[in-house]
A and B are shown apart, each in its own frame.
Chain A
């Protein structure tokens, strides 16, 4: 199974400031079709997870452009350019290059 490792576990951010979450996989998520099968989800309190980014760097429909995804192979980053109050919750990376699908342990983001 592919192991996904996120850091930090917890992030406290002042509104308007940037934030960055790291995710590492123990196998490359770059497939032969040229796509990187890395996704980012946010689970807000009391809600189901919602898709933020797919295939490394494509924002899902309706996701604000303050969110961006980058990286390659096994090292990935989700960046929020200017954190807003509505961004609180737990962020998860996930890989879908092979089954079983696996998630990172999560990064909890709170607002200072």
Chain B
């Protein structure tokens, strides 16, 4: 079945780095753009980043620009989020979600279960 599984969440100190991964299965991965969205405690959903289906373009929220980097490996059907210079306000559950960029389907129709990042000393 169509599935996205995130991993890599952890407790990390401010200023440190962390790499999240999202493994896809059950669909043609390289037809889809991939997003990261986060949910911080007590706050709403915040879009973080997107990478085009072929990896040719990326876009970031201002809150993470210059610190986070999204990448993908279509041969392995994975999308990654490299998070550098982490801050307390990056504490959140991070979700990956697919986007039918090459078709007519809606964005973010399938989401992973999420992985938790806690930035704390």
A residues within 8 Å of B by Cβ? Answer: 1, 39, 41, 43, 47-51, 54-55, 58, 60, 90, 92, 94, 96, 99-106
Q: A48 is contacted by which of B106, B107, B112 (Cβ under 8 Å)? A: B112
In which size bucket is the chain B interface?
20 to 34
- A43 touching B45, Cβ below 8 Å: yes
* Chain A positions within 8 Å of B95 at CB level: 48-49
Query: Is B72 at the interface (CB under 8 A from chain A)?
Result: no
- B46 touching A103, Cβ below 8 Å: yes
- B107 touching A96, Cβ below 8 Å: yes
Q: Provide the bound-state CA to CA distance between A102 and B44, in Å.
A: 11
Give the distance to chain A from B60, nearest Cβ to Cβ, in Å.
8
- A48 touching B111, Cβ below 8 Å: yes
- B111 touching A50, Cβ below 8 Å: yes
